Chains A and B, each alone.
Chain A
Amino acid sequence: MKNQQSDVSSRSQPDVKAKEDGPVTSSAPLLSVEHVKISYRLKNTLVQAVDDATFTVMPEEKVMLIGPSGCGKSTILKAVAGFIEPVSGRISFAGSTNITPGPDRAVVFQEFDQLFPWRTVLDNVVYPLRVTGRSKPEAMAQATTFIEMVGLGPARTRFPHQLSGGMKQRVAIARALALGPPMLLMDEPFGSLDAITRTRLQGDLNRLAERAKVALLFVTHSIDEALLLGHRVVVLQGAPSTVAAVVDVRDINGPDDPHYRSIRRSLEDLLGAPGEEEPDGGN
Chain B
Amino acid sequence: MAVTSQELRPGADLGGTLTARQSWSRLPAWLRRVIILAVAVAVWELYVKAAHVSHLVFASPYAVARSFVSGWLDGQIAGATGVTLEALAIGMAIGIGSAIVFTVLATWTTVGQDALMMFTSMLNPLPSIAILPLAIIWFGLNEKALVFVVANAVVWPIAINVTTGFRTVNTTLLMVGKNLGLRGWRLVRDVLLPAALPYIISGVKVAWAFAWRTIIASELVFGTAGGSGGLGYFINKSQYFLNIPDVFAGLVTIAVIGIIVEVGFNMLERRTVIRWGMQATS
Contact = CB atoms under 8 A, between A and B. Distances in A.
Contact of A107 (B170, B175, B195): B175
Interface stretch (B60-68, B97-105, B273-281): B273-281
A185 to B, nearest CB: 9
A101 interface: yes
A132 B275 CA distance: 27
Contacts of A161: 276-278
A102 B181 contact: yes
A191 interface: no
Contact of A81 (B179, B182, B194, B195): B179
Contacts of B277: 117, 159-162
A162 B181 CA distance: 28
A103 B278 contact: no
B172 interface: yes
Contacts of B190: 127, 131
B181 A131 contact: yes
B182 A117 contact: no
B168 to A, nearest CB: 12
A113 interface: yes
Nearest to A109: B172
B272 interface: yes
Contact of B197 (A82, A118, A160): A118
A116 B169 CA distance: 11
Contacts of A102: 179, 181
Contacts of A114: 172-173, 176
Contact of A159 (B172, B178, B195, B276): B276
B179 A107 contact: yes
B8 interface: no
A160 B194 CA distance: 14
A131 B278 contact: no
A101 B178 contact: yes
Contacts, number: 61
B183 to A, nearest CB: 9
B276 A118 contact: yes
A132 B176 contact: no
Contacts of A52: none
B73 interface: no
B110 to A, nearest CB: 14
Name the residue among A101, A105, A162 with the largest chain B CB count within 10 angstroms: A101
A106 B191 CA distance: 17
A159 B275 CA distance: 8
B31 interface: no
Interface residues of A, number: 24
Interface in A194-230: none
Contacts of A82: 178
Contacts of A105: 179
B180 interface: yes
A103 B272 contact: no
Contacts of B181: 101-103, 131-132
A106 B278 CA distance: 25
B273 to A, nearest CB: 8
A83 B178 contact: yes
A132 B180 CA distance: 7
Contacts of A131: 180-182, 190
Interface in A134-186: 159-162
A128 B178 CA distance: 11
A111 interface: yes
Interface string B188-224: 0011001101000000000000000000000000000
A107 B181 CA distance: 12
A118 B180 contact: no
B170 A113 contact: yes
Interface in B156-187: 170, 172-173, 175-176, 178-182
Interface in A88-121: 101-103, 105-107, 109, 111, 113-114, 116-118
Nearest to A111: B172
Interface in A60-88: 81-83
B278 A107 contact: no
A83 B175 contact: yes
Contacts of A113: 170, 172-173
Name the residue among B170, B179, B180, B197 with the largest chain A CB count within 10 angstroms: B179
B180 A116 contact: no
B99 to A, nearest CB: 21
A204 B170 CA distance: 28
A101 B265 CA distance: 38
A192 to B, nearest CB: 12
Contacts of A101: 175, 178-179, 181
Interface pairs A-B: 3 shortest CB-CB: A161-B277, A101-B178, A111-B172
Given A127-B190, A159-B277, 16 more contacts: A101-B178, A101-B181, A103-B180, A107-B175, A113-B172, A114-B172, A116-B173, A116-B191, A117-B276, A118-B194, A118-B197, A131-B182, A132-B180, A159-B276, A161-B276, A161-B277
14 contacts: A83-B178, A101-B178, A102-B179, A103-B179, A103-B180, A103-B181, A113-B170, A114-B176, A117-B277, A117-B278, A118-B272, A131-B180, A131-B181, A160-B277
